[in-house]
Structure 1
């Protein structure tokens, strides 16, 4: 590992990134969507968000592989079918512990891997926009993207030899800035910023253009007046 502030050299011969995507058990995730989607649709939407996020990530030219950290067997099977590697959330100690566990799962196999954490609720994610973010991130030891509110974080990267040091949750933008990570403020990365916690967030993502799993669930499960 290099010390924060040193120039990191990516010694991974592929030059590609491994992404770590954490996902709560579906029955527990996205509780703030209940009002907009209802109790039955909410976990199905949570899975659809993750499917569209992982599918887009795997289609990105800069991504080598995706590791999903989850204890949900249904989600694990669905995301593995898309080509992700799934690992159980053995720490079971919250989001940041899950990300560190996923980082370790990547680097146990490829010690020199460049690793990035990506939220599982980016249903409008576009591979080209993610590639733009990863290309920028490759120039710095650690970098991050704030969410659409400017408060949280949707993406955090660590180049080869650098620890991820995630500090997600609540006002994580401020924590990642204070930790020395560089904020990525490039234009044209709205789909990387638009996570979904509420009905308003989902409608914003739909306007951007969500992936097929989310589009199908949203169209089938929510009355037109509520979309």
Structure 2
């Protein structure tokens, strides 16, 4: 009995770290599944350091950390990492904690990126390299890609309620091919008798200045010196 208590006290931190890490990974996808709890119990039955603990005690510790996450994700994360930090960095126990967390993440058959990121953070706290545990993030599936918004479809309008009457039946307005008879029954009055526009007579002569029309008059004035100033007339 005393030996069991000593062993439990020695392995208390390891059990707390396993339960806290399992809760952190299980809550990463915001849904706690029965497969994850069952996986934790399976590990408790095969791990020597956890056999001294009653399975109900391990589940109770696991649920304690889950309740912290339900209260607030930041509070839950802080308390879980604080329990995990009690494990010696880069030790064999640290590696076991990470392996258990990976098993919890893939218990339901889908180890998604949110759970992988949680385990990567646990690796950082324990001084381990995530690449050693195959924790690369997966590319999203095509069905998870954002779908483009549906474009508006054009429906061809077949109704003729808003079409003027003269557009519905153009046979009375337009002549049939090959016929040049003018039908004027449905034509407006102004189209039947359009106003006549008087054509202006075109003149071939451009609008010439006055002095070009009567050059002889200009020459005569020049000869008589009528337009020469007086002071120029007196100069000899």
TM (norm. structure 1) is 0.29
Bigger proportion of residues as strand: 1
Structure with higher RCO (Cα < 8 A, 6+ apart): 1
Larger radius of gyration: 2
TM (norm. structure 2) is 0.28
